[in-house]
Structure formats: structure tokens, C-alpha cells
Structure 1
Amino acid sequence: MASYYVNRQPLPTGEHEVHRSDCEHLPNIKNLYYLGNLDSAEEAILEAEKYFVKVNGCEFCCNVEATT
């Protein structure tokens, strides 16, 4: 299991990026929303989609496609 966060600040394209807690590209802590200790990046993206419409995974730590 790993801890995951979603960036509250959207990217210029409108997506909110999901990151693992050990990601070197983790945004400023003030912009993060804690998603929980989860089994996979896919699970973290599903959790983030409960809060934001457009979600994707960080290309460095959560390189998976959003489900919606």
C-alpha cells in the first residue's frame, strides 16, 4: 500500500493530477488532498474522481489513464 494525493490545483488542461506520496514531482502540500493508503494508482484515481471530474495520474508515479 502507498499513500496517494490529488492536486487541488488543476493542470492547464483542466485535470487534477494524482500522486504517490514519494513522488519527486509532488506539488506544494497546500494544494494536496489526501486520498488515503491505497493498493494502486488505479484505485487512487477512482477515489480522486469522487471529488474532481477530470483526473489523471502523474506521468512519473501514477502513469495510468483515468477511467472517465
Structure 2
Amino acid sequence: MKGSHDITVWHCPIDPSCYSFALGYGGGIASFKEYAEDEFLSGSFESPEAALAAGIEKVKAIEN
């Protein structure tokens, strides 16, 4: 999936003191199904910056 991806950072659905990321591509949203509360979020990170960095790494992995 090469092209423009949107990475958004949200509070983690199971721990509001942590952060998760969501990926958008071509008008759709990737479904990770990690959390029953929100299937579109992935990970649990201590800072928004860490969640964003993880989202960027995920996009890089998808593109390769």
C-alpha cells in the first residue's frame, strides 16, 4: 500500500493515560482488532510521540 497514509494518535481505549495510533489510507481506516473497545486503534504507548513513531514504523513495514 504505497501512497499517503494518515496516522492519528488517540488515548488508548484500555488505559486513558496511554496513547494508541490509527492508520488511514485512501479514505479507509485499517482495522487492527487489538481492542474490543476500538478495533481501529493499535498499541499502548506512554506518549503521543511514541504512538506516532510506532504508526510511522507500521506504515514503513506495510509499504515494504
The TM tier, using the shorter chain, reads 0.3 to 0.5
Q: TM-score, structure 2 length as denominator?
A: 0.36
Q: TM-score, structure 1 length as denominator?
A: 0.35
Higher RCO structure, 1 or 2 (CA under 8 Å, sep 6+): 1
- Rg larger in structure: 2
- Greater helix content: 2
